[in-house]
Amino acid sequence: MNGSGKIRIGVIFGGRSGEHAVSLMSARSVLAALDPGKYDLIEIGITRRGTWLVGGDRSVSVVDALEAESFDRGEALPNAAVLPDPSRSGIWRLPGVSDGAQLEHLADLDVVFPVLHGTFGEDGTLQGLLELADIAYVGPGVLAGALAMDKAVFKDVMRANAIPVLESTLVLRSELETGMEAVLERCEAVAPYPLFTKPANLGSSVGITKCRSRSDLVEGLLEAAQYDRRVLVERGINGREIEVSILGNEFPEASIPGEIIPHGEFYTYESKYHDDLSQLLIPAPISEQLAEKVQADALRAYRAIDGAGLARVDFLLDRDTDELYLNEINTIPGFTRISMYPKLWEASGLGYPELCDRLIDLALKRKAQRDGTVREFKREGGDG
């Protein structure tokens, strides 16, 4: 904490993933919700190219700058970095290429609140940096972030824990370049059409295609491979989209479930963030018994990946068979005020500002647990 007794929060957003724009929307909501009476806020924005900018002049919004893609790399928005060195904690200003200046310590950080969706933020990479820097942070650790981000590996972990998931196969970008025909035959062996193609490591429905024929499949594979070197091909079903929010560390809680009624055939990027035609039904119109199963399976999956802080767990309910399948876990889900994650908690009795407070508290508690871990082993009695 600083001299005022406030907790200093570094809100990190933007980033190099295909979900950059979504991150900016989430960041606006989080920054507006955090109580300035409790917290000192530091905006840390990452450009699409990966340059870190810190809010120096309070009159300059880093979110606005990233949105407009107009950056002043001078006094207003200094280039910055978090260093992987606990002895140089906090956020540092980087010297310019030719000014010969030294690193300048700008501020300590009590907690980092990442609002980075997708690769280079939600996938364990940022979490690894913050672990090295010994800074508390909201959300999952390295393992949970990486596991949940890779849809193919995640499904293998769910299968190992007897949690139902849809049939699928993994395709590498290199396979598309060297043996498309063999890839198509393997994909078609998964299930009859329709099939879905998805980048294995992305969210917000970016790069997802519903394929009804071989020609669709070729296009879907090539589309997904633009966003990732690993592509998941999955059986398509006539499914209802059921979601539940999770909050907590070792003793997580589940919200009431909700249902998404997409405007199109599935919940696309445009449906999530740009049109108002899809519906969010909270609570989901499902039986109490099914709601309890959704919550129980979500908590099992969360624990299986060693989740922490928060997650939104997404299910598909087959309209034809009433079978429930776990689709994916989003460990840093969309966090605007109209996003499903906070709306489900609001309907469960926890408002948006209070939710942010809980997440910060969970981050500090998890850091305290890490600090209690012995890092050095000394043998007693010499070499005997």
Q: Domain 7-137, CATH 3.40.50.20 — does that match? A: yes
pLDDT of residue 270: 53
- Cα–Cα distance measured from residue 329 to residue 21, given in angstroms and rounded to the nearest whole number: 20
Instruction: Provide the pLDDT confidence category of residue 274 given band limits of 50, 70 and 90.
Output: very low
Interval 215-233 mean pLDDT: 95
pLDDT of residue 59: 63
For the record, the structure tokens of 182 come out as 């063999």
Q: Where are the alpha helices (DSSP H) in 7-112?
A: 20-33, 62-68
Amino acid at 208: I
Instruction: Provide the pLDDT confidence category of residue 201 given band limits of 50, 70 and 90.
Output: confident
For the record, the structure tokens of 149 come out as 């981000």
In this structure, the number of other CB atoms found within 10 A of the CB of residue 10 comes to 26
Q: Number of helices (H) and strands (E), helices first, in the chain? A: 12, 18
Instruction: Provide the pLDDT confidence category of residue 3 given band limits of 50, 70 and 90.
Output: low
pLDDT of residue 382: 54
Residue 384 has pLDDT above 50, yes or no: no
CA angle at 69 for the pair 63 and 73, rounded to the nearest 5°: 85
Burial code of 76-95, b = ≥16 C-beta within 10 A, e = fewer? Answer: ebbbbbbbeeeeebbbbbbe
| 43/58: higher pLDDT | 43
**Structure pTM?**
0.89
How remote is the C-alpha of 287 from its chain's centroid? 29
- Cα–Cα distance measured from residue 246 to residue 267, given in angstroms and rounded to the nearest whole number: 21
CATH topology of domain 167-235: Dna Ligase; domain 1 (3.30.1490)
pLDDT of residue 276: 62
- Cα–Cα distance measured from residue 100 to residue 318, given in angstroms and rounded to the nearest whole number: 62
* pLDDT tens-place string over residues 76-131: 788 999 999 999 999 999 886 655 668 899 999 999 999 999 889 999 999 999 99
Q: Which of 214, 224, 212 is nearest to 185 (CA)?
A: 214
For the record, the structure tokens of 11 come out as 């809100």
Residue 214 has pLDDT above 60, yes or no: yes
Residue 241 has pLDDT above 70, yes or no: yes
CATH topology of domain 239-370: D-amino Acid Aminotransferase; Chain A, domain 1 (3.30.470)
Per-domain boundaries in the chain: 7-137, 167-235, 239-370
The whole-chain average pLDDT of the chain stands at 91
Q: Which of 252, 267, 248 is nearest to 339 (CA)?
A: 267
**In the chain, what percentage of residues exceed pLDDT 90?**
78
**In the chain, what percentage of residues exceed pLDDT 70?**
89
Are the C-beta atoms of residues 77 and 54 closer than 8 Å to each other? yes
Between helix 340-347 and helix 352-371 the angle, nearest 10°, is 100
Residue 72 has pLDDT above 60, yes or no: no
pLDDT of residue 375: 84
**Nearest-10 Cα torsion for 255, 114, 206, 247:** -10
